[in-house]
Amino acid sequence: MSSSTMPYVIGNWKMNLDVESAMSLAEASAEIANETADDVGVGIAIPSLWIPLISSEFFETSLLVGAQDCSPHAAGAYTGDVSAPMLSPWCAFTLVGHSERRQHHGEDDDLVRAKLDAVIEHDMAALLCVGETEAQREAGNALDVVGEQVLRAAGHLDSGGLRNLLVAYEPVWAIGTGQTATPADAQAMAAHIRGLIAGLDAGSAPEVPILYGGSVKAANAPDFFSEGDIDGALVGGASLDADDFLEIVRAARQTGAGLLADDAR
């Protein structure tokens, strides 16, 4: 199985930046997005507070603006939460199931699935984040753990739903640590995920972007992007530096993640 999707490089800003630095980083990210628009989808998942501001300011650029989380509920007595219908006018996509949400907010696969459904129902793409802990990898369970996360959250989607799905494989032990999966292990996991998606709908599987995340930097990005089933990256720390982010996007264009890699095969 090979992928035939455009590569995506998505920055996850997490809970960082004040409004001035957020605006200037968004501007730099929009320039990067415009420069590479024909070859790479460039997005940023940003704190919800800045979403309307940044989305309206950069509406006419190629930058994809997204949220980091969303409530599974459309409206109601859910203090502090933000719903999919609130995000939808501003966002192209929303992350769901990031390991920091699973870890710090006790999110389980059922909740992740409900969030994913809310996102897709409200006309956004869902970027489903999955990944094993260090102990799970050492025990030899990484493929099973991640496979279960994928199927529990997205195993009910039909071809229409799968058109709005992206998956990010982010090993928990590689996030913010400077450690990465080996490109071969990341490729094996991406191929496993694509195989599971093929089990849901064979025709959709090559079209679902599968990204790698976990300490992606300009120096290591080309190694991941040259793997056949890795269609880009979800970038944390390095997305906060415009120069680093630009280099990673250029690597996706040059090494030909996704569609370009497929053409080269």
Under DSSP, the state recorded for 7 is: P
Interface segment toward ligand 13P; rule CB under 6 A; list 47-55, 56-64, 103-111, 212-220 = 212-220
Active site residues: 98, 170
Euclidean distance between CA atoms 76 and 228, whole angstroms: 44
**Footprint of ligand 13P on 91-150 (CB under 6 A):** 98
Is residue 216 part of the contact set for ligand 13P (CB under 6 A)?
yes
Of 136 and 204, nearer to ligand 13P (C-beta) is: 136
Of 72 and 171, nearer to ligand 13P (C-beta) is: 171
259 and 6 Cβ atoms separated by less than 8 Å: yes
Of 124 and 221, nearer to ligand 13P (C-beta) is: 221
Of 98 and 137, nearer to ligand 13P (C-beta) is: 98
Q: What is the CB neighbour count within 10 angstroms for residue 247?
A: 17
What three-state secondary structure class fits 116? helix
Instruction: Collect all residues with Cβ–Cβ distance below 8 Å to 213 and sequence separation of at least 6.
Output: 12, 129, 131, 168, 169, 170, 174, 175, 233, 234, 235, 236
Instruction: Collect all residues with Cβ–Cβ distance below 8 Å to 57 and sequence separation of at least 6.
Output: 23, 26
Site track 217-246 with ligand 13P (rule: CB under 6 A), x = hit? -----------------xxxxx--------
Tell me the closest approach of the beta carbon of residue 175 to ligand 13P, in angstroms.
4
The three-point CA angle 34-59-216 to 5° equals 50
**Single residue of 69, 109, 117, 170 touching ligand 13P by CB under 6 A:** 170
Q: Please state the φ and ψ torsions of residue 41, each to the nearest 5 degrees.
A: -85, 120
Query: Judged by CB under 6 A, how many residues of this single chain contact ligand 13P?
Result: 14
**Footprint of ligand 13P on 26-65 (CB under 6 A):** none
> Which tokens go with 127?
């970027």
Tell me the closest approach of the beta carbon of residue 39 to ligand 13P, in angstroms.
22
**Single residue of 7, 171, 214, 222 touching ligand 13P by CB under 6 A:** 214
Tell me the closest approach of the beta carbon of residue 160 to ligand 13P, in angstroms.
26
CA 39 vs CA 33, 36, 62: distances in Å: 10, 6, 11
Q: What is the CB neighbour count within 10 angstroms for residue 254?
A: 15
Of 168 and 200, nearer to ligand 13P (C-beta) is: 168
Of 174 and 197, nearer to ligand 13P (C-beta) is: 174
Interface segment toward ligand 13P; rule CB under 6 A; list 29-37, 80-88, 169-177, 191-199 = 169-177
3-class SS string, 170-216: CCHHHCCCCCCCCHHHHHHHHHHHHHHHHHHCCCCHHHCCEEEECCC
**Footprint of ligand 13P on 171-200 (CB under 6 A):** 175-176
Q: Which residues are near ligand 13P by CB under 6 A?
A: 12, 98, 170, 175-176, 213-216, 234-238
